[in-house]
Amino acid sequence: MNELEAYRARLDGVDRRLVELLQERLETVAEIAKVKAEGLTFLRDHERESELLDTIQGRARELGLDPFRVQEIFREIIAMSLKAQEEALLKRERVERSARAANRVAFQGEGGSYSFMAAQKYFGTRSSEMEFLGRGSFAEALAAVESGEAGYAVLPIENTTAGSINQTYDLLRATELGIVGEELLRVRHCLLGLEGSRIGRLSRIMSHPQALIQCARFLADHPGVDQVAFNDTAAAARRVSEGGDPTQAAIASKEAADIFGLQILAENIADQTENWTRFVVISGFEIDVDPRIPAKISLVFTTRHNQGALAQCLNLLAQHGLNLSKLESRPVPQRPWEYLFYVDIEGSLKTESSQLALAELRRECPYLRVLGCYPARTTTDGAVDRM
């Protein structure tokens, strides 16, 4: 063994120990969750998190390490730990544990797409148990759950650059399934091409329509290049890989570049550097959200054709101390100029204030349906990602 190989073997050993220590930490976190389940009234201790990060940053400085990078690593470790505690406290129906479909999750696209990455991120430590089923459309992914082929579907619902994804809202209205979770994924668009491709020689760039919109400024700098829409970013990357044409490129993720053996021609080409997509997890399995978990309630309702009817409904929520985090309107099918309102509220269905507010809303609204109550990722208390 030469000197370089010896150092690499030593490094592999260090990496194995790091992973084993991470496993030990998560096992300890699971034990803490049991203690909390027996009497503590909180799940997350923000003060302790801050003290831990300060301590870690100080220790990094003592060791001559980059304190910012070390702190970022521990933020991710804390996020993993929080999700592990939530999973321990999240009471799922027993049928979910025994059903074959419980280990299958459907998404639109294929491996390497952002939906695939969001599904993997959401299921976290359970991802090794899950079978991920790529489908050609949002509707097909949802149909897999409705038919019992899959236990879950993961669909994008809004993006910080392109806004709401209306198709997902329409599908939520039409299905009897409910929302059982949400996930945030930071989108880092890259331009991918064959080995030896050059940006100046490209004739065609392919990607999902949303990705093309999100990279409008970059594309405007290359006016002679055709833009071609694909079902998903990973499918575009696969087409470039299989096509063998160095004048074609795709906008997709770094993960897609690895999967399809493509070269990254340009990184982070989205108009906004803070480009995030929110996904919802849809299922027929019911969950019971522990009141210590920061939660969100999603509703859809219609209002009467009275002046100020919507404002009155929203005031009911405010009167009961509920914070509105999202309001989206969609046309009512076959009824021009009438609208469905999709609302996200911070809170749990188990609180008295939520129950009273919903009871009053039902009296005011011709139609109201609770789409789900689930652990939050976009609220101040529920956030585990740095936005």
pLDDT, tens digit, 9 for 90 and up, residues 100-154: 688 899 999 988 999 999 999 999 877 778 999 999 999 999 999 999 899 999 9
Residue 78 sits in the same domain as residue 161: no
pLDDT bracket for residue 290 (50, 70, 90): confident
Residue 86 has pLDDT above 80, yes or no: no
The reply to whether 138 belongs to the active site is: no
Residue 145 sits in the same domain as residue 106: yes
Residue 195 sits in the same domain as residue 183: no
Q: Is residue 381 part of a domain?
A: no
d(CA 162, CA 43): 34
* pLDDT for position 67: 83
Asked if residues 112 and 252 have their Cβ atoms less than 8 Å apart, the reply is yes
Residue 295 has pLDDT above 50, yes or no: yes
The reply to whether 279 belongs to the active site is: yes
Q: Is residue 72 part of a domain?
A: yes
Query: Which position among 74, 116, 230, 279 bears the catalytic label?
Result: 279
Helices (H), 38-165: 46-62, 67-89, 94-98, 114-123, 138-146
d(CA 153, CA 103): 11
pLDDT bracket for residue 35 (50, 70, 90): low
Helices (H), 175-324: 209-214, 216-220, 233-243, 254-260, 309-319
Q: Is residue 386 part of a domain?
A: no
Residue 182 sits in the same domain as residue 211: no
Q: Is 16 exposed, middle or buried (0-12, 13-18, 19+ CB in 10 A)?
A: exposed
pTM of structure:
0.76
Residue 90 has pLDDT above 70, yes or no: no
Average pLDDT (28-57) is: 71
Residue 98 sits in the same domain as residue 176: yes
* pLDDT for position 53: 84
Q: Is residue 198 part of a domain?
A: yes
d(CA 334, CA 194): 48
How many domains does the chain divide into?
Answer: 4
| Residue entry with tokens 């969750």 | 33
Q: Nearest 5 degrees, angle CA 337-CA 341-CA 345?
A: 165
Average pLDDT (179-184) is: 94
pLDDT, tens digit, 9 for 90 and up, residues 157-174: 998 888 899 999 999 988
Asked if residues 257 and 212 have their Cβ atoms less than 8 Å apart, the reply is no
Who has greater pLDDT, 92 or 322? 322
Residue 98 has pLDDT above 50, yes or no: no
Domain of residue 183, CATH code: 3.40.190.10
Residue 329 sits in the same domain as residue 257: no
DSSP 103: G
Residue 169 sits in the same domain as residue 244: no
Average pLDDT (244-268) is: 95
Query: Which position among 161, 277, 302, 378 bears the catalytic label?
Result: 277
* pLDDT for position 321: 93
Q: Is residue 329 part of a domain?
A: yes
* pLDDT for position 82: 74
Q: Which domain holds residue 51?
A: 3-89
Average pLDDT (235-255) is: 95
* pLDDT for position 234: 94
Who has greater pLDDT, 99 or 159? 159
